[in-house]
Amino acid sequence: MSETTREGVQQSNGRVETSHHPETDPQRKDKNYYGIPPIKHAHWTWQIPVYFWIGGLGAGVHLFSTVAQLLGHRDEALTRTSRYTVLATMLISPVLLIWDLGRPERFYNMLRIIKLRSPMSTQSWSVFAYGNLGGLIAARQAAEDGLLGRDNFLVRLVKLIPARFLSLVALPVGLNVGSNTGNLISATSVPIWARNWLFMGPMFLTSGLSTAPSWLSLVLHLTRSGEEKTLRTLHRAEKATLVIEAGLIGASLVRMSKWSKPLFSREVAPLFVGGTLLGGITAPMALLFGKESRQKSILASVLALAGGLAFRFAIIKGGRISADDPEAYFTFASEANAPQPEDKI
Amino acid sequence: MATGFLTDTTVCIGCKACEVACKQWNQLPADGYELTGDSYDNTKQLSGTTWRHVAFIENPKKRRLTGDVDLVALAEEVTEQLPGGAELDALGRWAFMSDVCKHCVEAPCQQACPTGAIIRNEFDNVYIQPDICNGCGYCVPACPYGVITQVPHDGRAFKCTLCYDRQRDGLEPACAKACPTNSIMFGEVEELEQIAEERVQDLHDKGYTQAYVWGTPEVGGTGGIKGNHSKFILMDEPEVYNLPRHPYLPQEKVKGGTIASMIAAGVLGAVVALAFRD
């Protein structure tokens, strides 16, 4: 060994480049174990964000039609669209959810117990109850629409279903389907989700509710049905919920503070900034606040719906990046950054 | 009676006998043959198929041994006054830690589990019933220590059972049985707490003032988890061992989040109702 090499080895001894210890390795400021994530991310694939979107839509649509019912606003087209939409969303949702299970054939174990502390448990029960209620209500609608045949025993039986009463019963359940998804992801160890426990549920509910009038007005416009007043109301509701959604996203970003970084990462920014903030909120708002026309309304609806889907994907993908970042988790799980039992908000 | 582990990292020699014993006893599949280049650790982390994982932490801060050193004196734990001002800190130069499920007092995975597959058994250990689990995977991001994962080809979630089967037969868990230096101790939690306290005091008396117990409600296990049944004696900051400093119970805010959602639902209902006014 030459003298210079020996010297080099001796000088570098204590600061070997492959060595881990962060305090002595000048290239590494962060403290962690070879960059291996200290927590594991959720395995959830595309089915889960799509379910979040569809479930939120089903909840929002029902809220809209039930409020219309309560206010005595009767519009056959609105009621019909809303009831069939709820049925469709609640037929698709369990398929997506069961598909995502590691052992799909054991899906029924979800209804084995009720656990109020587990949002996954309350969510399963809510989807179960809401799906059944929505099914009964849609059956009554189908009977009235003559889809079940004319005046046979089945039709007479189905027409006994008190659809308007069941709509009221289903309202809180449906709202839970829409908001509980947010609480579900915030009740984890993933920094970006857990930090935002206060606004996650409201944000998901509002996003679902902003897609609902978009969907309803889209269907009514495309089928050229629905009363003028309904469409005006839908546009007003769309604008109002988009504004509230934008406000809640802003509040969430403040609350997530530095842990919101994954939303602006290269992978997620197109979905979050492009798809949600610009495409899903700003663009439809610009279209809706201008002079109203059918084409513009249809375009705004499509954009808002796509924005809602992009938003769910952005949040789920952002959570994966957040969970895989040791620095994010360690700063989060130190001092008072993580939510503490004594925290009120 | 609650049983648990006490893993004394100061006497761990990184032999991985615990990893092997665990794999063998629990018939866990191999994780592949990846060479990570991260010291001698090719296991990397705990997972559904690795329930004990030995972390290899190289700590080159403490200078190497130079000059004419009395190795016998060193072996007898005389650390002060080495020739040439050299420091030899056998505990600091290498740090090994055999990581395992923490068996939390208030377990986030158990609270998250929607099927009730995750229970506390009669030994007060957190146990996944494999015949109930339907692989929803919600326990995985709930765990603040990254212990549980889903096993891909199986679909279900798995983690350390604290050798439930062996305990029922009056045996200690496979890893503790295999540990040649008694770094892994198994027993009643209260007893282990006392041993840990004495050991840390002993280490402090010998000059290793950085030693501490991790997994008590005071250090690691705040925020509603209320401590762990698997405790560790550590010699460095928790992050160095890939452990969080103040983990918290994720379900702590479910109630608050639900109330916030209810308020939001009321406000949104009112907004929709207002939209009906022409």
Range in B10-14, B72-76, B161-165 with the lowest mean pLDDT: B72-76
| ipTM surpasses 0.85 | yes
Contact between chains at A24 and B269 (C-beta distance less than 8 A): no
**CB-based contact (8 Å) between B142 and chain A?**
yes
Residue B134 reports pLDDT greater than 90: yes
Q: How far is B153 from chain A (nearest CA, A)?
A: 9
Task: Name the token pair of A130.
Answer: 């809401």
Residues with Cβ within 8 Å of residue B197, at least 6 apart in sequence: B213
Residue A93 reports pLDDT greater than 80: yes
Nearest CA in chain A to B149: A40
| pLDDT for the residue numbered A29 | 53
Residue A16 reports pLDDT greater than 70: no
**CB-based contact (8 Å) between A11 and chain B?**
no
- In DSSP terms, B186 is beta-bridged to B5
Q: Chain B interface, mutation test: which of A10, A11, A31, A34, most B Cβ atoms within 10 Å?
A: A34
For residues B234 and B241, give the distance between their C-alpha atoms in angstroms, rounded to a whole number.
Answer: 9
Q: Which residues of B139-168 are buried (b: 16+ CB within 10 A; e: fewer)?
A: bbbbbbbbbbbbbeebbbbbbbbbbeebbe
| pLDDT for the residue numbered A22 | 43
Q: Are B277 and A68 in contact (CB under 8 A)?
A: no
| pLDDT for the residue numbered B222 | 61
Range in A5-19, A275-289, B189-203, B262-276 with the lowest mean pLDDT: A5-19
pLDDT > 90: what percent of chain A? 81
| pLDDT for the residue numbered A36 | 94
| pLDDT for the residue numbered A24 | 46
For the CA atoms of chain A, what is the radius of gyration? 25
In chain A, domain spans = 39-332
Contact between chains at A38 and B145 (C-beta distance less than 8 A): yes
A90 versus B207: which is more confidently predicted? A90
**CB-based contact (8 Å) between A115 and chain B?**
yes
Nearest CA in chain A to B112: A118
| pLDDT for the residue numbered B75 | 56
| pLDDT for the residue numbered A305 | 97
Look at the alpha carbons of A61, A64, A67, A68 in this order and tell me if their dihedral is positive or negative.
Answer: negative
Residue A324 reports pLDDT greater than 90: yes
A chain contacts of residue B247, beta-carbon cutoff 8 Å: 189, 333, 338
For residues A255 and A92, give the distance between their C-alpha atoms in angstroms, rounded to a whole number.
Answer: 33
| pLDDT for the residue numbered A2 | 37
Nearest CA in chain A to B142: A188
Report DSSP state, residue A338. S
Residue A310 reports pLDDT greater than 80: yes
Q: Residues 98..127 of B with a Cβ closer than 8 Å to A: which?
A: 108, 111-117
Say whether A9 sits in a helix, a strand or coil: helix
| pLDDT for the residue numbered A47 | 96
Q: Per-residue pLDDT tens for B199-235?
A: 999 999 988 888 999 988 766 556 678 889 999 999 8
| Region A283-305 average pLDDT | 92
Fold of A39-332: Formate dehydrogenase/DMSO reductase fold (1.20.1630)
| Region A33-60 average pLDDT | 95
Residue A199 reports pLDDT greater than 80: yes
Q: Are A180 and A201 in contact (CB under 8 A)?
A: yes
| Region A300-318 average pLDDT | 97
B35 versus A291: which is more confidently predicted? B35
For residues B126 and B161, give the distance between their C-alpha atoms in angstroms, rounded to a whole number.
Answer: 7
The closest CB to that of B141, out of A14, A39, A234, belongs to: A39
- Residue-averaged pLDDT of chain B: 88
| pLDDT for the residue numbered A339 | 74
Q: Per-residue pLDDT tens for B87-133?
A: 555 444 678 999 999 999 999 999 999 999 999 999 999 999 999 99
Q: What are phi and psi of B210, to 5 degrees?
A: -80, -5
| Region B65-85 average pLDDT | 58
Q: What's at A296, amino acid-wise?
A: K
Q: Are B96 and B234 in contact (CB under 8 A)?
A: no
> Chain A to chain B, count of Cβ pairs less than 8 Å apart?
282
Q: How far is CA B266 from CA A78, B16, B214, in A?
A: 22, 57, 44
Task: Assign 3-class secondary structure to chain B.
Answer: CCEEEEEEHHHCCCCCHHHHHHHHHCCCCCCCCCCCCCCCCCCCCCECCECEEEEEEECCCCCCCCCCCCHHHHHCCCCCCCHHHCCCCHHHHEEEEEEECCCECCCHHHHHCCCCCEEECCCCCEEECCCCCCCCCCHHHHCCCCCCEECCCCCCEECCCCCHHHHHCCCCCHHHHHCCCCCEEEEEHHHHHHHHHHHHHHHHHCCCCCCEEECCCCCCCCCCCCCECEEEEECCCHHHHCCCCCCCCHHHHHHHHHHHHHHHHHHHHHHHHHHCCC
Q: Per-residue pLDDT tens for A118-149?
A: 999 999 999 999 999 999 999 999 999 999 88
Q: Which residues of A277-302 are buried (b: 16+ CB within 10 A; e: fewer)?
A: bebbbebbbebbeeeeeeeebbbbbe
Report DSSP state, residue A282. I
Q: Residues 239..268 of A with a Cβ closer than 8 Å to B: which?
A: 240-241, 244
Give residue B74's pLDDT band: very low, low, confident or very high (50, 70, 90): low
